[in-house]
């Protein structure tokens, strides 16, 4: 396909985006929806449509080589991803479930289930600033250095005695003699076969031998696949070349604008500010106060307002800030005690969607595309290189802002001198401005977190964490490796009052929305509903740890391990514990995006610590970790992921306070098991022929997790068995014996996890909604609740 076709793909996505924006923001606001089912269907329809737009935009971004177009598309992608996360949050709040079933919507829209998968941008793993990339490279060097030092450490094994050495030599000699006998036997057997099968053609024998030995993993790719890979590599190379040329042009244009237009900009701004000084004096009789840097400085003055309006706004802001202090406590008390009448009125009014933080950005991007890119003539730009005039327009604003800051400093000084000279002419004494501005924050300041390692470099901190085993390399797995099929009967089961279990495909979608998209995009993490921590709950072998490593690989995140068993005996004492938490979170912010993994998360919140684990002190992080979690802000792309298979042994109240999202990971259903058997056997080198009844194998493996299936495949599909496939294909019966040695996930264990999840905050809401009971307001806890009137 040509670049013109990719531009058309972008245009199609923008056209669909324009339509959906018109529906989301009509001229007249729609009436609130009282029917919860109808409201959910509308939100789910928007959710599916935005995913299709996101898919097209990402395809266009991967293939278009024009650097400025790719930047424009990137902005739209970030906003669309954020809107998808917002709609997911709407569905969770209205349905009280983390997993949703949209098979009926896919049927109405004539879409296949794979279209519901969240497309993950390929630029996430490498989309970091130069500073972060240098830090990541430094971290890789530390990993290699620590591995090399560990391999060079002297072994602590005891020296071998003479008798033991003789015994080892004898064993080795007997094995050598056995190999020699086997070799002689094979040679004699081959000689006899040649004499008996002399009539068979040598080419046919060679083909049979090759078929027996050939491993599918080493088969050469097809010519079409080679051509596709070559085209993709060529596209990436052109993108890199055009991006490098664009960056050089940006630097050159910025320098040129400063030299050619900098003085004119400065003089124009100064004359405008002076004119504003005297206009204000003519209107009010005195010189105005210069706006603060926080308000925008001189940019606040020239926001298409008259001098009187500017002064009124400044005075109103000061009055509002001072009055907010006195009203703050009263408003907080009112918020803590919600009025029942207000709640009833809201319920009667109907359901509305929350205000979006991304719709305004989407509208701006849509307007930019329609005004500039849609009608742009590029017949002379066949190579799709950058546009210098467009760079000038963008950088001119940056240069203006830089000069505006300098001009503001000079004009503040000039205004102070003008006020001083006027006071002297009037004969008045100049009074020191000892009064504090109204609305200014006085006295109390927010306590900043103490930096316990201010005198240490990042490299030394990273090396210490790697040596202690708290900073690790993520395994090379992707989210697409977490196999699982779509739930085709979710809506049908619900219509028959049967709550379906989520499929592994649903798990992939939720992990993408809650973990990968916010960690991969700074815009999504700052504007979308903030998720600081996720708890993955599921039986052994469900793939919880694999999902943690997949999140790190998809986003290029740094992995920290604060599992209770991993931190046992490290950084002893209270001061050591505080130092460990401080160092981990400090390095996590500097190397963001970062994932802090807590394996066996239930141990941190044990109801009663088992005797055999008391020495490990698994609850030592119970107080310090939630405190550090509260300090994570929108600009910190740090996510805590806990995994547990026995949440019943933990205090559910403390655990739910720690984790924003709790995801129940089920055992795989029939469709997922069928896909897993097929894909995992092929990955191991096996062949799925007609002799291998995958349907029966998927049926009898009900109750087994993906980890159990991997163990069974590893024990059956060995190198020796792979070589025998030509004469003896794999059968389902071979996998029965290894499975029989493994205990499956029994129905009682699955029911226990379901019952536990029903006690979580979201689970309780779902139970009350299902039974038709109104949710009672919890008692208020805090300062206002201590005193009863």
pLDDT in tens, 185-201: 877 877 776 665 555 55
Backbone dihedral region of 2: left (phi > 0), alpha (psi from -120 to 50 degrees) or beta? beta
Which pairs with CB-CB distance under 8 Å and at least 24 residues apart come from 454-459? 458/135, 458/138, 458/587, 458/590, 459/138, 459/142
| pLDDT at residue 1, rounded to an integer | 55
Residues 6+ apart with CB under 8 A from 736: 700
| pLDDT at residue 341, rounded to an integer | 47
CA distance 727 to 725: 5
> Do residues 546 and 481 touch, judged by C-beta distance below 8 A?
yes
Reduce the DSSP state of residue 102 to 3 states and report it: coil
For the purposes of burial, counting CB atoms within 10 Å of the CB of 389, is it exposed (0-12), middle (13-18) or buried (19 or more)? exposed
Hunting for tokens 């979580």 — which residue is that? 760
- Nearest residue to 736 via CA among 670, 689, 692: 692
Per-residue pLDDT band at 54 (split at 50, 70, 90):
very high
Angle at 340 between CA 337 and CA 343, to 5 degrees: 100
| pLDDT at residue 129, rounded to an integer | 63
433 or 489, higher pLDDT: 489
438-467 pLDDT tens trace: 444 444 444 556 777 778 888 888 888 888
* Mean pLDDT of the residues in the chain: 80
Per-residue pLDDT band at 283 (split at 50, 70, 90):
confident
Q: Would you say residue 671 has pLDDT above 80?
A: yes
765 or 2, higher pLDDT: 765
Mean pLDDT of 61-81: 89
- Nearest residue to 507 via CA among 548, 475, 476: 548
130-152 vs 458-468: helix crossing angle, rounded to 10: 40
| pLDDT at residue 549, rounded to an integer | 92
> Do residues 254 and 398 touch, judged by C-beta distance below 8 A?
yes
Length of the chain: 789
CA distance 551 to 25: 34
Q: Would you say residue 152 has pLDDT above 70?
A: no
Reduce the DSSP state of residue 225 to 3 states and report it: helix
- Nearest residue to 592 via CA among 641, 521, 512: 521
| pLDDT at residue 787, rounded to an integer | 42
Q: Would you say residue 663 has pLDDT above 70?
A: yes
92-101 pLDDT tens trace: 888 888 888 8
- When mean pLDDT is compared across 142-146, 183-187, 431-435, 594-598, the lowest value belongs to 431-435
- Nearest residue to 52 via CA among 120, 123, 119, 121: 119
Angle at 186 between CA 180 and CA 188, to 5 degrees: 105
CA distance 306 to 287: 15
Q: Would you say residue 335 has pLDDT above 60?
A: no
| pLDDT at residue 305, rounded to an integer | 53
- When mean pLDDT is compared across 122-126, 239-243, 619-623, the lowest value belongs to 122-126
Give the strands of the sheet with 661-664, arranged side by side. Answer: 471-472, 558-561, 594-598, 638-644, 533-537, 661-664
Mean pLDDT of 273-298: 76
CA distance 534 to 546: 15
CA distance 68 to 61: 11
Alpha helices in 64-155 (DSSP H): 67-95, 103-109, 130-152
Hunting for tokens 């020296």 — which residue is that? 159
Backbone dihedral region of 541: left (phi > 0), alpha (psi from -120 to 50 degrees) or beta? left
> Do residues 549 and 103 touch, judged by C-beta distance below 8 A?
no
Q: Would you say residue 437 has pLDDT above 50?
A: no
Per-residue pLDDT band at 511 (split at 50, 70, 90):
very high
Q: First-to-last CA distance in the chain?
A: 74
CA distance 683 to 12: 38
3-24 vs 36-63: helix crossing angle, rounded to 10: 160
Segment (H or E) for 713:
helix 706-716
706-716 vs 670-684: helix crossing angle, rounded to 10: 30
Mean pLDDT of 133-153: 75
Reduce the DSSP state of residue 95 to 3 states and report it: helix
Mean pLDDT of 350-377: 84
Which pairs with CB-CB distance under 8 Å and at least 24 residues apart come from 289-294? 289/314, 290/408, 290/411, 290/412, 290/415, 293/405, 293/408
Residue 591, token pair as written in the block: 């190397």
CA distance 320 to 589: 35
What's the maximum distance between 2 C-alpha atoms anywhere in the chain?
Answer: 128
Q: Would you say residue 323 has pLDDT above 70?
A: no
Q: Would you say residue 508 has pLDDT above 70?
A: yes
Mean pLDDT of 606-624: 84
CA distance 665 to 506: 9
377 or 72, higher pLDDT: 72
For 306, phi then psi, to 5°, come to -80, 160
Alpha helices in 337-387 (DSSP H): 340-349, 359-368
Please state, for a pLDDT cut of 70, what percent of the chain lies above it: 82
| pLDDT at residue 282, rounded to an integer | 78
Residues 6+ apart with CB under 8 A from 425: none
Backbone dihedral region of 594: left (phi > 0), alpha (psi from -120 to 50 degrees) or beta? beta
723-743 pLDDT tens trace: 888 888 888 888 888 888 888
Most confident region among 279-288, 491-500, 688-697 by mean pLDDT: 688-697
- pTM summary value: 0.78
> Do residues 758 and 664 touch, judged by C-beta distance below 8 A?
no
| pLDDT at residue 31, rounded to an integer | 78
295 or 66, higher pLDDT: 66
388-425 vs 223-284: helix crossing angle, rounded to 10: 20
Please state, for a pLDDT cut of 90, what percent of the chain lies above it: 9
Reduce the DSSP state of residue 230 to 3 states and report it: helix
Q: Would you say residue 347 has pLDDT above 50?
A: no
Q: Would you say residue 784 has pLDDT above 80?
A: no
Mean pLDDT of 216-228: 69
459-501 pLDDT tens trace: 888 888 888 888 888 888 888 889 888 888 888 888 787 778 8
Per-residue pLDDT band at 779 (split at 50, 70, 90):
very low
Q: How far is C-alpha 216 from the geometric centre of its chain's CA atoms? A: 34
| pLDDT at residue 719, rounded to an integer | 85
CA distance 175 to 162: 20
670 or 202, higher pLDDT: 670
Q: How far is C-alpha 331 from the geometric centre of its chain's CA atoms? A: 35
Count Cα neighbours of 299 within 13 Å in the Cβ-side half-sphere. Answer: 12
| pLDDT at residue 729, rounded to an integer | 86
522-531 pLDDT tens trace: 889 988 888 8
Per-residue pLDDT band at 211 (split at 50, 70, 90):
low
Per-residue pLDDT band at 202 (split at 50, 70, 90):
low
Alpha helices in 350-385 (DSSP H): 359-368
Q: Would you say residue 345 has pLDDT above 80?
A: no
> Do residues 526 and 635 touch, judged by C-beta distance below 8 A?
yes
Q: Would you say residue 536 has pLDDT above 90?
A: yes
Angle at 133 between CA 130 and CA 135, to 5 degrees: 115
- When mean pLDDT is compared across 184-193, 394-403, 665-674, the lowest value belongs to 184-193
The dihedral of CA 765, 767, 770, 775: what is its sign? negative
- Nearest residue to 506 via CA among 538, 533, 528: 538
- When mean pLDDT is compared across 192-201, 209-218, 378-387, the lowest value belongs to 209-218
Name beta bridge partners: 606. Answer: 650
Q: Would you say residue 748 has pLDDT above 90?
A: no
């Amino acid at each position: 396909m040509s670049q013109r076709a990719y531009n058309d793909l972008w245009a199609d996505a923008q056209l669909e985006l324009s339509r959906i924006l018109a529906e989301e923001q009509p001229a007249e606001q729609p009436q609130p929806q009282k029917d919860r089912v109808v409201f959910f269907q509308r939100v789910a329809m928007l959710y599916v449509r935005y995913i299709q737009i996101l898919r097209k935009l990402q395809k266009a971004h991967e293939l278009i080589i024009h650097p400025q177009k790719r930047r424009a598309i990137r902005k739209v992608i970030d906003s669309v991803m954020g809107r998808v996360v917002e709609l997911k949050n709407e569905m969770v709040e209205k349905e009280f479930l983390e997993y949703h079933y949209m098979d009926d919507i896919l049927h109405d829209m004539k879409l296949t289930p794979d279209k519901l998968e969240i497309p993950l941008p390929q630029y996430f793993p490498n989309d970091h600033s130069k500073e972060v990339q240098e830090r990541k490279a430094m971290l890789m060097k530390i990993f290699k250095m620590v591995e090399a030092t560990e391999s060079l450490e002297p072994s602590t094994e005891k020296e071998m005695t003479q008798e033991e050495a003789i015994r080892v030599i004898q064993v080795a000699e007997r094995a050598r003699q056995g190999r020699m006998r086997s070799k002689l036997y094979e040679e004699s057997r081959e000689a006899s076969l040649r004499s008996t099968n002399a009539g068979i053609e040598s080419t046919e024998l060679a083909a049979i031998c090759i078929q027996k030995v050939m491993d599918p993993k080493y088969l050469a790719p097809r010519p079409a696949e080679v051509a596709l890979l070559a085209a993709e590599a060529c596209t990436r190379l052109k993108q890199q070349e055009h991006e490098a040329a664009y960056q050089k042009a940006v630097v050159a244009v910025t320098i040129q604008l400063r030299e050619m237009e900098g003085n004119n900009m400065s003089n124009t701004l100064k004359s405008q500010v002076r004119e504003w000084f005297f206009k204000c004096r003519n209107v009010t009789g005195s010189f105005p106060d210069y706006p603060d840097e926080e308000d925008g400085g001189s940019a606040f003055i020239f926001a298409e307002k008259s001098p009187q309006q500017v002064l009124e706004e400044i005075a109103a802001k000061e009055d509002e800030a001072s009055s907010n202090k006195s009203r703050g406590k009263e408003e907080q008390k009112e918020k803590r005690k919600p009025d029942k009448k207000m709640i009833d009125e809201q319920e009667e009014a109907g359901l509305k969607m929350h205000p979006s933080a991304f719709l305004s950005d989407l509208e701006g991007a849509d307007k930019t595309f329609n005004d500039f890119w849609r009608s742009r003539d590029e017949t002379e730009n066949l190579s799709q290189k950058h546009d210098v005039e467009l760079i000038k327009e963008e950088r001119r604003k940056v240069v203006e802002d830089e000069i505006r800051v300098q001009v503001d400093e000079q004009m503040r000084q000039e205004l102070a001198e003008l006020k001083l000279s006027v006071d002297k002419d009037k004969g008045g004494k100049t009074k020191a401005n000892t009064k504090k501005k109204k609305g200014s924050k006085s006295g109390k300041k927010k306590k900043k977190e103490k930096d316990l390692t201010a005198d240490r470099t990042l490299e030394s901190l990273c090396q210490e964490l790697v040596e202690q085993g708290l900073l690790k390399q993520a395994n090379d797995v992707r989210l697409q490796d977490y196999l699982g099929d779509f739930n085709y009967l979710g809506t049908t089961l619900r219509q028959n009052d049967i709550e379906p279990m989520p499929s592994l495909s649903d798990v992939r979608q939720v992990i993408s929305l809650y973990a990968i998209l916010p960690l991969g995009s700074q815009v999504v993490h700052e504007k979308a509903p903030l998720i600081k921590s996720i708890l993955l709950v599921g039986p052994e072998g469900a793939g919880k740890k694999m999902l943690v490593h997949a999140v790190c690989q998809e986003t290029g995140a740094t992995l920290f391990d604060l599992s209770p068993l991993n931190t046992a005996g490290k950084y002893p004492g209270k001061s050591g514990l505080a130092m460990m938490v401080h160092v981990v979170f400090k390095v996590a912010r500097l190397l963001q995006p970062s994932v802090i993994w807590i394996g066996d998360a239930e141990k941190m919140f044990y109801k009663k610590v088992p005797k055999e684990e008391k020495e490990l002190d698994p609850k030592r992080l119970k107080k310090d970790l939630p405190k550090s979690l509260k300090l994570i802000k929108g600009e910190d792309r740090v996510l805590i992921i806990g995994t547990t298979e026995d949440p019943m042994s933990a205090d559910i109240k403390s655990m739910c306070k720690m984790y924003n999202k709790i995801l129940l990971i089920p055992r795989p259903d029939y469709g997922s098991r069928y896909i897993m058997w097929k894909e995992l056997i092929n990955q191991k080198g096996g062949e799925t022929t007609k002799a291998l009844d995958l349907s029966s194998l998927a049926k009898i493996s009900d109750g087994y997790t993906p980890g159990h299936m991997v163990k069974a495949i590893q024990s059956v599909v060995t190198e020796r068995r792979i070589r025998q496939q030509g004469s003896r294909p794999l059968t389902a019966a071979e996998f029965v014996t290894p499975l029989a040695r493994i205990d499956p996930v029994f129905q009682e264990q699955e029911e226990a996890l379901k019952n536990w999840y029903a006690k979580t905050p979201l689970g309780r809401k779902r139970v009350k909604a299902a039974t038709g009971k109104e949710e009672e307001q919890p008692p208020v806890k805090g300062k206002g609740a201590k005193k009863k009137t």
